[in-house]
């Protein structure tokens, strides 16, 4: 914009921090299949940043839920461990998070980095800026448990809500445009919704709601 990059992301971070939010992490979504383009003064962006804010230092995080196969890295880097790799040491910034790469020698799964390599999805969802299902799915798995609530205040075509439902989370989507609310709703209508716990028996309660009768022995 006007010959330089926009600073709105930086300003957003500072504004939220002023409101008391902790800027906990920044993830990069690397768009693996980004198509080429040419601009006079820069190259095409092939990434977007995903900012994490929390209200408190302690928050739910299920790192095991997003572990990835060790892959070729285990075959190459781990087999030629250097002196620094086998000695635990604290990072230079004094974060207290030491590393001991040798600990990972016999493992099949590793924790991912904060760079997510995901292709954009080109399927027609009638929304120009929809993101791949795997993107919200990754964050939902990382930060929530089954039955938790997920809120997307910019729901667009409803990708976040679909990912949430696929993972047995509840979700709420909001959009300023009614057409996108309708689009998201229609996308979710094919998903099977379970109102009550399977295996339970219910009776009507004055026509208002249902009341659980008894717990099934088979549930």
Ligand X SMILES: C[S@@+](CC[C@H](N)C(=O)[O-])C[C@H]1O[C@@H](n2cnc3c(N)ncnc32)[C@H](O)[C@@H]1O
Which residues contact ligand X by CB under 6 A?
Answer: 127, 129-131, 153-154, 156-157, 159, 174-177, 180
Nearest to ligand X of 110, 118 (CB atom): 118
Quickly list H helices, 40-147: 72-76, 83-86, 134-143
Nearest to ligand X of 26, 182 (CB atom): 182
Residues 6 or more apart whose CB falls under 8 angstroms from that of 153 comprise: 174
Q: How far is the CB of 27 from ligand X (least distance, A)?
A: 15
Nearest to ligand X of 176, 193 (CB atom): 176
Task: Please measure the distance between the N-terminal and C-terminal CA atoms of the chain and give it in whole angstroms.
Answer: 59
Q: How far is the CB of 159 from ligand X (least distance, A)?
A: 3
Q: How far is the CB of 105 from ligand X (least distance, A)?
A: 39
Check: CB of residue 118 under 8 Å from CB of residue 148.
Answer: no
Output the residue with the shortest Cβ distance to ligand X.
156
Distance, in Å, from the CA atom of 79 to the CA atom of 96, rounded to the nearest integer, reads 26
Q: How far is the CB of 102 from ligand X (least distance, A)?
A: 41
Q: How far is the CB of 121 from ligand X (least distance, A)?
A: 9
Nearest to ligand X of 1, 176 (CB atom): 176
Angle at 96 between CA 93 and CA 98, to 5 degrees: 95
Residue 214 pairs in a beta bridge with 201
Quickly list H helices, the chain: 8-18, 72-76, 83-86, 134-143, 159-166, 178-188
Q: How far is the CB of 98 from ligand X (least distance, A)?
A: 37
Distance, in Å, from the CA atom of 112 to the CA atom of 100, rounded to the nearest integer, reads 16
Nearest to ligand X of 24, 120 (CB atom): 120
Residue indicated by tokens 């008894």: 214
Token output for 75: 């075959």
Check: CB of residue 183 under 8 Å from CB of residue 125.
Answer: yes
Nearest to ligand X of 127, 169 (CB atom): 127
């Amino acid at each position: 914009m006007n010959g330089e990059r926009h600073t709105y992301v930086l300003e957003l971070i500072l504004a939220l921090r002023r409101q008391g939010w902790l800027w906990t992490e920044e993830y990069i979504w690397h768009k693996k299949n980004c198509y080429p383009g040419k601009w006079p003064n820069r190259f095409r962006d092939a990434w977007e940043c995903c900012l994490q804010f929390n209200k408190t230092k302690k928050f739910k995080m299920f790192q095991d839920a997003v572990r990835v196969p060790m892959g070729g890295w285990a075959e190459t880097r781990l087999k030629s461990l250097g002196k620094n790799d086998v000695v635990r040491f604290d990072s230079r910034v004094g974060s207290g998070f030491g590393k001991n790469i040798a600990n990972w020698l016999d493992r099949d799964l590793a924790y991912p980095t904060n760079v997510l390599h995901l292709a954009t999805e080109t399927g027609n969802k009638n929304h120009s800026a929809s993101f791949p299902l795997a993107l919200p799915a990754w964050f939902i798995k990382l930060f929530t448990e089954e039955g938790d609530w997920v809120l997307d205040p910019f729901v667009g075509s409803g990708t976040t809500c679909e990912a949430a439902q696929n993972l047995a989370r509840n979700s709420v989507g909001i959009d300023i445009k009614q057409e996108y609310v309708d689009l998201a709703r229609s996308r979710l209508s094919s998903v099977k919704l379970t109102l009550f716990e399977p295996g339970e028996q219910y009776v009507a309660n004055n026509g208002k709601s249902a009341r659980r009768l008894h717990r099934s022995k088979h549930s």
